[in-house]
């Protein structure tokens, strides 16, 4: 199977240039001017941009929470990602704490969920939420099966949180085996106190989700994590940065030569605690929560100044009203969602849709007004995560030998965005009614056309599990 994409402008993390792309099988065969080969399918990209497929480093599909489950699974979420120009996603394997099976059983269970449904390529991070000698001995097995990242938490006491000493030990093991530790930074002890006080005082509205998870807890937890990175000399990746002070702490640590990196998400660039005070404020409930306009601004600065390395989504959607079905692929579906916490913010499932929104929203709000260059956009949403998570240059690159994960991007296309376009399997969209300029026209996964305008050509099971390499780059 060969095809040529002609007359497009290629956008990489470092360069912008006009060239043709020859695809042979599932890989890029050649890139150059005036490529020709008789009898091949020719796709004309005149006036269009060609980007490497997006790599979303932070998603949660089919995740059980609060007696329900996130509404996108490894098919529907992958499909939504593809419509938004993303061709690779990274999900998290929950640690069940089952001593009999251990991490191997946890991984097998998540592969059984994902493999038959996957519509784009995917990899896994492993949550480490319980730590003992047995788990310590088992972690190296993950490298053998292509999982090179571990996630730890400083919040969710008695459920997900590890103590600082345990995080220290996890990071030492990770360093020894060329792995990367990812960290969710909040202060679980203070959150517990504030939640108990809020409920005792009858404060149950969505805004109290944010008010009981102070930004200072994220800031001090981030610096504490960076100090552990310094003491272990191990790389650390701070997930879903949401507070301006976290940018300051990351900058401070990187200036001192620590191997630390950070990720933010679109929701933390555009929304604030004020959105939780809306009548439909539960739509904006996620953890960590929205902060302030000043935090939004500092996070933007972190992206513009290359303090932050990636933009993920933390995609974990729930229905706003799971009692009312939506039509998805011609069938009605309803999944219990945020209405479960109508009378108590602590029972609102924590999570938002976003995997299909990331690229179109960022292009319109960051590239079009000149806040980010097109090259920075590609770096943050594709190339950098591919490098950090051991997938480059197979993913995130427009070079011969890379997977032909390509997006033909129409920079002039205007759309009125929202739930109808986003393809995410839920009943709302954070960006409902936003006027966007610039949108994917065609999306290829390993050379296969899976999105053609409004047409879905992908299939469950065509996505491949990506075995990743240890010792990945620290940017």
Smallest Cα–Cα separation from 150: which of 158, 160, 321?
160
Element containing residue 174 per DSSP (H, E): helix 164-176
Does the structure show a pLDDT above 90 at 157? yes
For residues 377 and 382, give the distance between their C-alpha atoms in angstroms, rounded to a whole number.
Answer: 8
pLDDT of residue 160: 94
Q: Which residue's structure tokens are 């005036």?
A: 34
Task: Give the architecture (CATH level 2) of 54-382.
Answer: Alpha-Beta Barrel (3.20)
Summarize pLDDT for 394-406 with one digit per residue, the tens.
999 999 999 999 9
pLDDT of residue 335: 98
Q: Assign 99 a pLDDT band (cuts: 50, 70, 90).
A: low
For the chain, report the end-to-end CA distance as a whole number of angstroms: 36
Q: Assign 226 a pLDDT band (cuts: 50, 70, 90).
A: very high
* Beta strand pairing call for 455-456 and 149-153: unpaired
Does the structure show a pLDDT above 80 at 213? yes
Q: Helix, strand, or coil here: 372?
A: coil
Mean local confidence (pLDDT), 7-29: 97
Q: Assign 100 a pLDDT band (cuts: 50, 70, 90).
A: low
Sorted by sequence, the CB contacts under 8 Å of residue 256 that are 6+ apart come out as: 230
DSSP annotation of 467 reads P
Smallest Cα–Cα separation from 183: which of 165, 162, 169?
162
Contact call for residues 363 and 440 (beta carbons, < 8 A):
no
pLDDT of residue 38: 81
For residues 150 and 171, give the distance between their C-alpha atoms in angstroms, rounded to a whole number.
Answer: 9
Q: Which residue's structure tokens are 């990242």?
A: 149
Mean local confidence (pLDDT), 377-381: 98
Sorted by sequence, the CB contacts under 8 Å of residue 474 that are 6+ apart come out as: 235, 259, 261, 388
Does the structure show a pLDDT above 80 at 37? no
Could you tell me the residue ranges of all domains in the chain?
54-382
Please give the model's pTM, rounded to 2 decimal places.
Answer: 0.97
Does the structure show a pLDDT above 90 at 126? yes
For residues 214 and 196, give the distance between their C-alpha atoms in angstroms, rounded to a whole number.
Answer: 14
Contact call for residues 19 and 10 (beta carbons, < 8 A):
yes
Summarize pLDDT for 71-87 with one digit per residue, the tens.
999 999 999 999 999 99
Mean pLDDT of the chain: 97
* Beta strand pairing call for 41-44 and 2-11: parallel
Summarize pLDDT for 266-282 with one digit per residue, the tens.
999 999 999 999 999 99
């Amino acid at each position: 199977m060969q095809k040529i994409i002609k007359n497009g402008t290629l956008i990489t993390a470092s360069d912008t240039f006009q060239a043709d792309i020859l695809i042979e099988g599932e890989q890029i065969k050649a890139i150059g001017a005036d490529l020709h080969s008789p009898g091949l399918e020719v796709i004309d990209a005149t006036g269009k941009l060609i980007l490497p497929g997006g790599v979303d480093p932070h998603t949660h599909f089919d995740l059980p929470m609060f007696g329900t489950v996130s509404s996108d699974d490894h098919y529907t979420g992958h499909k939504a990602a593809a419509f938004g120009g993303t061709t690779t996603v990274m999900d998290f394997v929950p640690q069940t704490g089952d001593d009999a099976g251990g991490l191997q059983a946890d991984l097998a269970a998540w592969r059984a969920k994902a493999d038959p449904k996957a519509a784009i390529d995917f990899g896994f991070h492993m949550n480490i939420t319980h730590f003992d000698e047995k788990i310590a001995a088992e972690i190296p097995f993950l490298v053998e099966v292509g999982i090179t990242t571990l996630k730890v938490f400083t919040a969710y006491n008695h459920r997900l949180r590890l103590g600082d000493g345990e995080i220290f030990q996890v990071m030492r093991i990770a360093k020894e085996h060329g792995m990367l530790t990812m960290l969710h930074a909040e202060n679980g002890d203070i959150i517990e106190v504030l939640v108990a006080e809020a409920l005792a005082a009858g404060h149950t509205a969505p805004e109290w989700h944010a008010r009981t998870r102070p930004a200072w807890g994220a800031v001090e937890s981030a610096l504490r994590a960076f100090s552990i990175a310094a003491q272990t000399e191990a790389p650390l990746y701070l997930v879903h940065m949401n507070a301006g002070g976290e940018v300051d702490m990351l900058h401070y640590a990187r200036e001192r030569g620590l191997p630390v990196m950070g990720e933010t998400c679109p929701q933390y660039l555009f929304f604030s605690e004020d959105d939780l005070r809306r009548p439909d404020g539960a739509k904006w409930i996620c953890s960590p929560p929205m902060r302030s306009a000043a935090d939004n601004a500092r996070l933007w600065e972190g992206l513009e100044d290359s303090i932050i390395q990636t933009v993920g989504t933390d995609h974990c959607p729930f229905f706003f009203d799971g009692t009312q079905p939506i039509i998805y692929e011609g069938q009605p579906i309803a999944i219990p969602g945020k209405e479960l916490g109508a009378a108590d913010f602590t029972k609102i499932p924590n999570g938002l849709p976003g995997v299909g929104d990331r690229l179109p929203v960022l292009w319109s709000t960051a590239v079009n007004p000149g806040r980010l260059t097109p090259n920075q956009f590609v770096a943050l949403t594709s190339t950098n995560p591919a490098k950090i998570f051991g997938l480059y240059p197979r993913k995130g690159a427009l070079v011969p030998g890379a997977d032909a994960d390509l997006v033909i991007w129409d920079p002039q296309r205007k759309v009125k965005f929202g739930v109808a376009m986003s393809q995410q399997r839920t009943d709302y969209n954070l960006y409902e009614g936003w006027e966007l300029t610039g949108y994917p026209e065609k999306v290829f996964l390993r050379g296969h056309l899976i999105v053609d305008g409004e047409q879905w050509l992908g299939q469950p099971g065509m996505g491949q599990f990506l075995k990743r390499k240890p010792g990945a780059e620290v940017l």
